[in-house]
């Protein structure tokens, strides 16, 4: 079975990390999140993945030089300009000649969903499109559904104003589509699958939901990107885990590092305290610095303090400085 994976967004909410690395290529548990996602699709029966690319396609091609990720064959569909989610799905599916039931996934979703279960539910309902659904406390930042008892979606609303959500069941970003969904997407223009297409399929009575309580995180925002990493240390994931220090991480024995992932080539000096953080490949934490609940790709100088901050590849915290609830370099 084919899957289209959406990986062409700008990753704005993860800047400045995404100034140098596209969001789906950022590591989760020392592997690009896209590799973990493709592994999960493969476990569910997907053999071919079409990467719907736009912004910065090269890093993806360089990461998988033989055109495979594990046993999965990769196809690259590079949009001439951003077509939004629906336009990108249509462009990628036509590029790969998809004409049968296929899977679609948002490139930033980390979940333990069994994709084969989603496909089986889709077939059971005779659906045109089936969405994976998850219950959350605050649904307003997501697509939200009103689900009927027979599993059909009565209403789909993308990012409703807080207080107006029809339920707490959200679109979890993994779908099964019949090829006929492609006919509902106008050619060569920006189309949102969530705003422009799902409501039409719902009105036709052919949109279904498959609700599970699997582990699920949209790693496209800083706190959840950090959580997606830390959750691999704490054994929260059904099929996946990670070591705290990647092979090639350089951690001084005199450093205190807890509940933190340290990537290959990152260096943590003596006397530092690093807690609840993700130290990405290439980062440097100098002597006696303290880092808490942060994402670091750049450099933290000696005796500096960093709390709940994001430091991009070009970010440097000067020695003795204090940085809290900020990003470096600044976002403009
Ligand atoms: N190729 C391509 N072209 N990909 C795109 C484009 C585009 O123009 N725009 C966005 N994408 C990709 C992003 O890279 C991401 O993988 C995916 O589409 C979804 O975009 P996000 O920007 O992450 O959307 P979101 O998180 O605000 O909302 C989406 O995900 C939620 C669940 O995590 C929606 O699908 C919501 O309905 C859903 O609840
Ligand atoms: Mg997202």
Residues 329 and 16: beta-carbon distance below 8 Å: yes
CB 260 within 8 A of CB 242: no
Q: What is the mean pLDDT of residues 13-39?
A: 95
Closest by CA to 104, choosing from 29, 182, 191, 163, is 182
The average confidence (pLDDT) of the chain is 96
Residue whose CA is at the smallest distance from ligand 1 atom 16: 107
pLDDT number for residue 224: 96
CA distance 305 to 311: 12
Non-local CB neighbours of 290 within 8 Å, separated by 6+ positions: 272, 273, 274, 304, 305, 306
- Taking the C-alpha atoms of residue 27 and residue 111, their distance in angstroms, rounded to an integer, is 15
Q: Which of 164, 109, 104 is nearest to 131 (CA)?
A: 104
DSSP per-residue letters across 111-134 = E---HHHHHHHHHHHT-SEEEEEE
pLDDT score for 11: 86
b/e 32-69 (16+ beta carbons within 10 angstroms → b): bbbbbbbbbbbebebebbbbbbbebbebbeeebeeeeb
* Residue 332 in this model has a pLDDT that exceeds 80: no
Active-site positions read: 159
* pTM: predicted TM-score of the whole model, two decimal places: 0.94
* CA–CA dist 255, 275 (Å, integer): 11
Length of the chain: 332
pLDDT at 10 over 90: no
Q: Quickly state the pLDDT bin for 9 (edges 50, 70, 90).
A: confident
Interval 43-60 mean pLDDT = 92
Domains of the chain (ranges, CATH numbers): 2-221 (3.90.550.10), 250-328 (2.160.10.10)
The alpha carbon of 144 and the centre of ligand 2 are apart by a number of angstroms equal to 14
For a mutational test of ligand 1's pocket, the pick from 6, 198, 215, i.e. the residue with the most ligand atoms closer than 8 A to its C-beta, is 6
The rounded distance, in Å, linking the Cα atoms of 33 and 17 is 14
Pocket test for ligand 1, best of 23, 106, 166, 191 (most atoms within 8 A of CB): 106
The residue among 170, 163, 182 whose CA lies nearest residue 83 is 182
Distance 71 CA to ligand 2 centre (A): 26
C-alpha distances out from residue 214 to 3, 24, 131, 209, 210, Å: 20, 21, 14, 15, 11
Per residue in 159-207, pLDDT (tens digit) is 999 999 999 999 999 999 999 999 999 998 999 999 999 999 999 999 9
Confidence label for 57 from pLDDT (cuts 50, 70 and 90): confident
The encoded tokens of residue 96 equal 């790969």
Residue 329, burial from CB neighbour count under 10 angstroms (0-12, 13-18, 19+): middle
One DSSP character per residue, 142-173 reads SEEEEE-TTSBEEEEEESPPTT--S-SEEEEE
> Average pLDDT for residues 216-235, to the nearest whole number?
96
Q: How far apart are CA 285 and CA 270, in angstroms?
A: 9
> What confidence tens digit (pLDDT) does each residue in 112-159 have?
999 999 999 999 999 999 999 999 999 999 999 999 999 999 999 999
Give the C-alpha separation, 211 to 133, whole Å: 4
Instruction: Give 331's DSSP letter.
Output: P
In order of 16, 236, 300, the CA distances from 295 in angstroms are: 10, 20, 11
Mention every residue, 6+ apart, whose C-beta is less than 8 A from residue 315. Answer: 16, 297, 298, 299, 327, 328, 329
Q: What is the pLDDT of residues 63-99, one digit of tens each?
A: 998 899 999 999 999 999 999 999 999 999 999 999 9
For residue 221, give the ligand 1 atom closest to its CA.
Answer: 26
Ligand 1: lining residues by beta carbon, under 6 Å = 6-9, 52-54, 79, 82-85, 88, 106-109, 142-143, 158, 170-173, 194, 218, 220
Ligand 2 centroid distance, CA of 132 (Å): 14
- Residue 76 pairs in a beta bridge with 51
Q: How confident is the model at residue 270 (pLDDT cuts 50, 70, 90)?
A: very high
CA gap 46, 39 in Å, rounded: 9
Tokens, residue 40: 């999960």
pLDDT at 183: 97
């Amino acid at each position: 079975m084919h899957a289209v994976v959406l990986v062409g967004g700008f990753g704005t909410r993860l800047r400045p990390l995404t100034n140098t690395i596209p969001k789906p290529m950022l590591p989760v548990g020392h592997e690009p999140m896209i590799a973990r996602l493709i592994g999960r699709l493969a476990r569910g029966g997907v053999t071919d993945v079409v990467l719907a690319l736009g912004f910065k396609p090269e890093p993806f091609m360089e990461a998988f030089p033989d055109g495979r990720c594990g046993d999965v064959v990769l196809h690259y569909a590079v949009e001439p300009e951003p077509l939004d989610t629906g336009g990108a799905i249509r462009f990628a599916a036509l590029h790969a000649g998809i004409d049968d039931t296929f899977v679609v996934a948002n490139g930033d979703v980390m979940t333990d969903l069994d994709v084969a279960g989603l496909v089986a539910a889709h077939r059971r309902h005779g659906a045109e499109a089936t969405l994976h659904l998850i219950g959350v406390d605050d649904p307003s930042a997501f697509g939200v559904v009103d689900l009927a008892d027979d599993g059909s979606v009565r209403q789909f609303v993308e990012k409703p104003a807080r207080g107006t959500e029809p339920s707490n069941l959200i679109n979890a970003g993994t779908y099964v589509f019949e090829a006929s969904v492609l006919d509902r997407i106008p050619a060569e223009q920006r189309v949102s699958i969530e705003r422009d297409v799902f409501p039409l399929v719902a009105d036709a009575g052919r949109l279904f939901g498959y609700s599970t309580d699997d582990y699920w995180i949209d790693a496209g925002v800083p706190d959840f990107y950090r959580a997606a990493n830390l959750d691999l240390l704490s054994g929260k994931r059904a099929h996946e885990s990670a070591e705290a220090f990647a092979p090639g991480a350089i951690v001084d024995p005199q450093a205190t590092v807890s509940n933190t992932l340290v990537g290959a080539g990152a260096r943590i000096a003596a006397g530092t305290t690093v807690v609840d953080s993700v130290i990405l490949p290439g980062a440097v934490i100098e002597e006696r610095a303290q880092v808490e609940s942060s994402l670091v790709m750049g450099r933290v100088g000696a005796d500096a303090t960093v709390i709940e901050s994001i430091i991009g590849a070009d970010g440097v915290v000067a020695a003795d400085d204090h940085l809290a609830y900020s990003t470096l370099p600044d976002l403009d």
